[in-house]
Amino acid sequence: MFKRSNLISAVGLVIGMALAASACTATPAGQTSDQGERLTGSVSSDKAPGSRADADAAAPADSIEVPKKKIGLLIYVGASYIQKQLADEFVRAATALGWDVIVQDAQGQPGLLASISQSFVQQKVDAFVSIAAPPSSILPALQSFKKSGTPVVGLSGYVPDDDNLIAAIFRPSEAVQSVMAADWVGVHVPPGSDVIMQNFDPQQGVRMRSDVFRPLMELYGMNVVAEHQIDPANLVSDTINSVRDQLAANPDVKVIFSSIDAQLAPICNLLKERGRNDIVVLSQFTFPDTAKALETCDTAVVLDATNWYTGWHAADALLHHFTKGTPISADAEVAKYPHIFKVVTSADMPAGAASYPFPDVGKKIYADWKTQGYRLQALPEPTTATE
């Protein structure tokens, strides 16, 4: 039996390795759990000229005019609920600021990623927002924006940015979600149980979930007996077929780890057909499909986080950059408006809810903008589920 002190050290090492790979992104500094517990990091109280503390100081009402801006927003896969929600929340914030946002969906196609990003260069947008797009697929545009001094920010999962072409990547930590998942398994599943994993390595942020979860299973005394690389082009059929094969080869499995939220419903349906209500299914985020699956899948456990807060984080950072010259910092945003992480089961979901009802950070940030003296438009209602 491993010692708890060894587990704590190992968890710290795994998180450290995962976060070290995400320089210039939003680390867990200032993030909280659903109980409000500070996970890591600290917040500086310095008030140097141009700092966030200066930028957030109170001012007379409507005394600061928000400059008109044109923002290019690129969605990697618009069919993804989380990416659509991120786009909707950024547009919601930008609308309150009076900015124009040009939204384009690349539909997961590398050719469209390149052409859309280059079109934003030609349109001379004032800022470029990329949702989960791999930098290698939009490299010429990123280089052009760097040369022109146009700010670039990323939303959603971690992506590598070895050339420092992106000012900041706003995201909740995938490492924290996977540690939560592993800890839940360690508490609720007997040691020695078999685990199968469904992975997607091409997207770095999704891969991080698996890379953090896997070694923690060993430390908790579990056995990862089979793994499968997901085919996103045939997600449902590939999930059903691969899980069926994994279960046939490993009938004693007690845990299925799925790294993509859209897998939860097909996995739960398959287990229900087979009468396997003894298997825990771990998934990511509560969206309409996962929320519906939770209603009928008592063994489902969802590792949820306020990923959609990042749309507001980015808008707030850009606003202070445009009006105060404040450097764009994901850490500063997360320190002030922390992400919330929660393990969600069927018992936690309100009846009929499309997602877990996290607080609407947009209302808080909008109120802060008012206090800071910005002249704003009306705050739109959310178009996708928040609270």
Sheet containing 127-131: give its strands across: 100-105, 70-75, 127-131, 152-155, 168-170
**Spatial separation of the C-alpha atoms in residues 191 and 162, rounded to whole Å:** 40
Which pLDDT does position 31 carry in this prediction?
A: 40
Model confidence pLDDT, tens digit, residues 209-264:
999 999 999 999 999 999 999 987 788 899 999 999 999 999 999 999 999 888 99
> Parallel, antiparallel, or unpaired for β 340-344 and 300-305?
antiparallel
Residue 80 in contact with residue 359, Cβ under 8 Å?
Answer: no
286: nearest Cα among 343, 224, 356: 356
Residue 219: other Cβ atoms inside 10 A:
17
R_g over Cα of the chain: 21
Model confidence pLDDT, tens digit, residues 313-362:
999 999 999 999 999 999 999 999 999 999 999 999 988 888 899 999 99
172: nearest Cα among 293, 263, 86: 86
Which pLDDT does position 312 carry in this prediction?
A: 98
Q: Which long-range contacts (CB under 8 A, 24 or more apart) does 144-150 make?
A: 144/118, 145/121, 148/121, 150/125, 150/126
Which pLDDT does position 4 carry in this prediction?
A: 38
Residue 249 in contact with residue 30, Cβ under 8 Å?
Answer: no
Q: What is the CA angle 350-184-221, rounded to 5?
A: 160
Query: Which amino acid, 205?
Result: G
Which pLDDT does position 6 carry in this prediction?
A: 46
- Burial class from Cβ neighbours inside 10 Å (0-12, 13-18, 19+) for residue 255 reads buried
Which pLDDT does position 52 carry in this prediction?
A: 54
Which pLDDT does position 22 carry in this prediction?
A: 37
Residue 140 in contact with residue 165, Cβ under 8 Å?
Answer: no
Q: Which residues of the chain have pLDDT under 70?
A: 1-56, 385-387
* Domains detected in the chain: 31-172+307-338+357-375 (3.40.50.2300), 174-305 (3.40.50.2300)
Residue 101 in contact with residue 58, Cβ under 8 Å?
Answer: no
Sheet containing 253-258: give its strands across: 32-33, 340-344, 300-305, 280-284, 253-258, 194-199, 223-229
Q: Mutual orientation of helices 361-371 and 309-324 as an angle, nearest 10°?
A: 20
Which pLDDT does position 45 carry in this prediction?
A: 31
| pTM metric for this prediction | 0.82
Residue 73 in contact with residue 90, Cβ under 8 Å?
Answer: yes
